[in-house]
């Protein structure tokens, strides 16, 4: 999660919402991919940290199936990201802060609990949640002061 938080801070420094994601191989501890949020800079509404990390990992491994890998992300994934996680066959998702407004894992549609979800990763939430949430709060607090 510390690496994901570093990626989130880098995203914030670039003017993006501070969300970071890391994909690792739990068998070896190897970091396969790291990414921060990037929709503004990429002019791409799908450039969430999770999507960018999934793309980088799939490219690196030359396989769109990322079975048995772990995705660590600073914020509860949204519905789009949860769908991509399921399609990639990620084995485990670890997230920091919950997202009551946009989250889709423990909030909203609870994507992985739906009968139409074909692949359900193991999910652990709340890892360094306070630090992840404070990074987001601080980012948006600073933006509100500028307006």
- Say if residue 117 carries a ligand binding annotation: no
Say which of 16, 30, 50, 122 is annotated catalytic.
50
Extents of the domains making up the chain: 1-140
Q: Is 50 a catalytic residue?
A: yes
Q: What is the pTM of this model?
A: 0.95
What number does CATH give the domain 1-140? Answer: 3.40.140.10
pLDDT (tens digit per residue) in 79-105: 999 999 999 999 999 999 999 999 999
For residues 94 and 121, the answer to whether their CB atoms sit within 8 Å is: no
For residues 73 and 50, the answer to whether their CB atoms sit within 8 Å is: yes
pLDDT (tens digit per residue) in 38-82: 999 999 999 999 999 999 999 999 999 999 999 999 999 999 999
Taking the mean position of all CA atoms in its chain, how far away is CA 17? 12
Strands 20-24 and 31-36: antiparallel
Strands 70-75 and 20-24: antiparallel
Taking the mean position of all CA atoms in its chain, how far away is CA 55? 12
């Amino acid at each position: 999660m510390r690496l994901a938080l570093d990626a989130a801070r880098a995203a914030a420094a670039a003017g993006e919402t501070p969300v970071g994601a890391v994909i690792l191989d739990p068998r070896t501890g190897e970091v396969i991919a790291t990414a921060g949020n990037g929709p503004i800079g990429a002019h791409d509404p799908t450039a969430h940290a999770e999507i960018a990390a999934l793309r980088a990992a799939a490219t690196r491994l030359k396989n769109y199936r990322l079975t048995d890998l772990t995705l660590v992300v600073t914020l509860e994934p949204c519905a789009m990201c949860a769908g991509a996680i399921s399609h990639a066959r990620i084995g485990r998702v670890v997230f920091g802060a919950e997202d009551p407004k946009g989250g889709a894992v423990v909030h909203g549609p609870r994507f992985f609990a739906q009968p139409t979800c074909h692949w359900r990763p193991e999910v652990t939430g709340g890892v360094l949640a306070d630090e992840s949430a404070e990074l987001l709060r601080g980012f948006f607090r600073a933006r509100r002061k500028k307006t």
